[in-house]
Amino acid sequence: MQSFFEQRSPRLDTSLPSVRHVQELIRNRTMVSVLMAGGQELEGTIKWQDTDFLALRQDTSLPLVLLNRSSICVLRALV
C-alpha cells in the first residue's frame, strides 16, 4: 500500500502508438539503432521500457544500458 508521502510515477500509456511500437520491438527482440541527443549512436535490443527509460542490451556479456527517453533523438529498427 502506498503511504501518503510516496508519489507513484505515472503509468506507461499503452494507448500511444509509440509505446505499442516499442513493445513490439521488445517482444520480437528486434535489433535497433538509437541516436542520442549528444550524437552517440548505440545498437542493441530493448529489454524493457518504463515512463522514463529504455533498457538497451548491446551484448550479452555487458550490463544493460539505461537510456533516458528525453535524450533519444531517433530510434529505428535494424531489419
CATH at residue 47: 2.30.30.100
> Could you read off the pLDDT of 15-73 as tens digits, one per residue?
999 999 999 999 999 999 999 999 999 999 999 999 999 999 999 999 999 999 999 99
For residue 67, what are the domain limits?
A: 17-77
DSSP 3-58: -TT--PPPPP-TTSHHHHHHHHHHHTT-EEEEEETTS-EEEEEEEEE-SSEEEEES
- The answer to whether position 21 is within a domain reads yes
How far apart are the C-alpha atoms of 13 and 31, rounded to whole Å? 23
How far apart are the C-alpha atoms of 16 and 18, rounded to whole Å? 6
The total number of structural domains that make up the chain: 1
- The answer to whether position 3 is within a domain reads no
pLDDT at 19: 94
- The answer to whether position 11 is within a domain reads no
How far apart are the C-alpha atoms of 46 and 44, rounded to whole Å? 7
- The answer to whether position 9 is within a domain reads no
